[in-house]
Structure 1
Amino acid sequence: MVGLCVDGSGDLVAIQRIFLRPDGAGKAQMRKPKLTLGRVRGAALRLGPVASEIIITEGPEDGLSLMQQLPGSSVWVALGTALMPEIEMPPEVRTVVIAGQNDAAGRAAVTRAAEALTLRGLSVKAVFPSPEYRDWNDELRGCRI
Structure 2
Amino acid sequence: MSVETEELLRALAQDAEGVCRHYLPAGRREGSYWMVGDLQNTAGRSLFVRLTGPTSGPGARGKWQDSATSEYGDLLDIIRARTGITRFPDLLAEARAHLGRPMPVLPDRPVPKKAKTPGGTPAAAARLFAASMPVAGTLADTYLRSRGLTHGGTMSALRFHPKCWHRDEGETKSIPRPALIAAVTDGAGGLQGVHRTWLAPDGQGKAALKAQRRAMGHLLGNAVRLTPHEDILVVGEGIETMLSLVEAIPGLPVWAALSSGHLGAVLLPEGLQRIYIAIDRDPAGQRAAERLSARALDAGVAVRVLEPRLGDFNDDLRAYGKEALREHLAGQIGSEDRQRLLA
Q: Return the TM-score normalized by structure 1.
A: 0.89
The AA in structure 1 aligned to 2:254 is V
Structure 1: which 5+ runs fail to align?
none
2:205 to 26, 33, 58: 26
Shift of 1:93: 2.3
Shift of 1:77: 0.5
Please tell me whether the aligned partners of residues 19 and 27 of structure 1 are also in contact (alpha carbons under 8 angstroms): yes
The AA in structure 2 aligned to 1:139 is D
Alignment CA distance shift 1:134-1:91 (3 Å): same
Shift of 1:111: 1.5
Structure 1 stretches (4+) deviating beyond 6 angstroms? Answer: none
If each structure's helix is expressed as a fraction of its own residues, which one has the higher value?
Answer: 2
If each structure's strand is expressed as a fraction of its own residues, which one has the higher value?
Answer: 1
Q: 1:19-58 alignment to 2 at 5 Å? A: 19-58=198-237
Larger radius of gyration: 2
Please tell me whether the aligned partners of residues 234 and 255 of structure 2 are also in contact (alpha carbons under 8 angstroms): yes
Aligned to 1:142: 319
- Identity of aligned pairs, percent? 33
1:117 aligns with 2:264: no
Please tell me whether the aligned partners of residues 184 and 219 of structure 2 are also in contact (alpha carbons under 8 angstroms): yes
Shift of 1:74: 0.9
Partner SS for 1:13:
strand
1:74 aligns with 2:74: no
Aligned to 2:164: none
Shift of 1:8: 1.6
Once residues 46 and 40 of structure 1 are traced to their aligned partners in structure 2, the CA distance between those partners, rounded to angstroms, is 12
Aligned to 2:282: 103
Shift of 1:23: 3.1
Once residues 100 and 60 of structure 1 are traced to their aligned partners in structure 2, the CA distance between those partners, rounded to angstroms, is 13
Alignment CA distance shift 1:109-1:88 (3 Å): closer
Using CA pairs under 8 Å that are at least 6 residues apart, name the structure with larger relative contact order, 1 or 2.
Answer: 1
Aligned to 2:98: none
Shift of 1:126: 0.4
Shift of 1:12: 0.9
Aligned residues: 141
Once residues 229 and 304 of structure 2 are traced to their aligned partners in structure 1, the CA distance between those partners, rounded to angstroms, is 18
Q: Return the TM-score normalized by structure 2.
A: 0.39
Once residues 8 and 94 of structure 1 are traced to their aligned partners in structure 2, the CA distance between those partners, rounded to angstroms, is 16
